Amino acid sequence: MSDFNTACNELIVAIGDDYKRWRLRGDYYSDESIAKFREELTLNPGRKYMKVTNEEVRDCGRIASRVWGFIMLEDDKKFKKGDILMAAGYNAPARNKPRGNIFTGYDVRWTGPNYL
């Protein structure tokens, strides 16, 4: 399980790095905003999937949670452990095709797994 956790953390770093590259292209760059984005990335384990979210605390104290995507926790009939799935909604992944695997490689953006 530690290999899985390490690979998930590397994915979180890759998401944060892509966010930094995106911010550097515009006039929106600040070290604080990039650090804040990285801190807000969260891994939430479930029964079948690890949900990757970005939980932003707003000025009014409310938490706005956006789903980045899902990671398979175990093999099933269609997917392998570590497959990255795009979100179909807040609580469910799109189960059409994997967008990569945390163990074998992926191409992701800060907004979510790349489309097919």
Model-wide pTM > 0.85: yes
What is the four-CA torsion angle of 62, 45, 116, 55, rounded to 10 degrees?
A: 20
The stretch 32-53 carries a mean pLDDT of 92
Q: Work out the percent of the chain whose per-residue pLDDT is above 70.
A: 90
pLDDT averaged over every residue in the chain: 89
Instruction: Compute and round to an integer the Cα radius of gyration of the chain.
Output: 14
Tell me which residue has tokens 């994997």: 98
Q: Is the pLDDT of residue 60 over 80?
A: no
Q: What is the pLDDT of residues 72-89, one digit of tens each?
A: 999 999 999 999 999 999
Question: For 78-109, what is the HEC assignment?
Answer: CCCCCEEECECCCCCECCCCCCEECCCEECEE
Helix (H) or strand (E) holding 36: helix 31-40
The stretch 10-34 carries a mean pLDDT of 85
Q: Is the pLDDT of residue 1 over 60?
A: no
Residue 2 — very low, low, confident or very high, per pLDDT cuts 50/70/90? low
Q: Is the pLDDT of residue 114 over 60?
A: yes
Quick check: 4 and 81 in contact, CB under 8 A?
A: yes
The stretch 85-94 carries a mean pLDDT of 94
The domain segmentation of the chain, as residue ranges, is: 2-102
